[in-house]
Amino acid sequence: MKHIDSFSRAYLEPLCETIPVSHSDVQEIFYIVSGKGILTAGDKDRNVREGDGIIIPPKITYSLKNILEEPLEFLILVESVLEGTEVRKEVLVRNYRESSIGQGHWNHLVHQVFGKSDGLVKIHSVLIVRIEPMQTADTHGHNAETDEIWYMLKGSGLHVVNREVCRQKPGDAVPVAPSTGHSLINDTDEPLQTFYFAHYE
């Protein structure tokens, strides 16, 4: 990735809590894959659950606690923030179900989690994308200055990138830029759901 510092998958064991931490020059975006927890940021506690996106701006001290007797699974995006960049003053928590559903590339059913207007710095878009059974998107490409990653949350499909084809399953991440063409095909009898993020050029 050229513009996004890192992308990772993490687990917090049952009834455990992270050590409070803050970062001076990076912004973190979390997505709760499964479970429930309490995010403490500054002097506020916020309940978080499956489907919640979280933006944690620089210089805010936070911790995350798992309140269930099962692992709390989440994804983490990190984007560096240059000195002088305008950023959010507070943490933002939003469930993807709060946004209206849109449609793109023929059969992408899209919920926006976050966009630039929410305070993203280098990332332009964070989405949840669903594809219904036996459906495909149109084939389209991306230039070398674009970052675009598809992470499978539920279901599976065939991801075609240039002339390569892979079976993408839950936990698999597929970068699709640069490419002359890519398309995610749901060739199963169940819907698939992905976590998507991108920097566009």
pLDDT in tens, 85-98: 999 999 999 999 99
**pLDDT grade for 2, boundaries at 50, 70 and 90:** confident
> Of 41, 70, 95, at which residue does a domain stop?
95
183 located within any domain:
yes
CA distances from 1 to 48, 78, 86, 113, 145 (A): 28, 11, 23, 21, 9
Q: How many domains does the chain have?
A: 2
Q: Which residue has the tokens 């899209």?
A: 110
**pLDDT grade for 56, boundaries at 50, 70 and 90:** very high
* Interatomic CA distance for residues 6 and 10, integer angstroms: 13
Task: Please indicate, yes or no, whether residues 121 and 141 belong to a single structural domain of this protein.
Answer: yes
Dihedral sign, CA of 185, 187, 188, 191? positive
pTM, two decimals, is 0.96
34 located within any domain:
yes
The sheet carrying 173-175 orders its strands as 101-104, 108-115, 125-131, 192-199, 147-154, 173-175
Q: Which of 80, 95, 91 is nearest to 56 (CA)?
A: 91
Task: Please indicate, yes or no, whether residues 107 and 152 belong to a single structural domain of this protein.
Answer: yes
Task: Please indicate, yes or no, whether residues 68 and 144 belong to a single structural domain of this protein.
Answer: no
11 located within any domain:
yes
Residue 108 domain boundaries: 98-199
Task: Please indicate, yes or no, whether residues 172 and 120 belong to a single structural domain of this protein.
Answer: yes
Q: What is the pLDDT of residues 92-117, one digit of tens each?
A: 999 999 999 999 998 999 999 999 99
Task: Please indicate, yes or no, whether residues 14 and 44 belong to a single structural domain of this protein.
Answer: yes
* Interatomic CA distance for residues 35 and 70, integer angstroms: 7
pLDDT for residue 177:
92
> Of 75, 95, 115, at which residue does a domain stop?
95
Domain of 156, CATH number, reads: 2.60.120.10
Structure tokens at 73: 């699974």
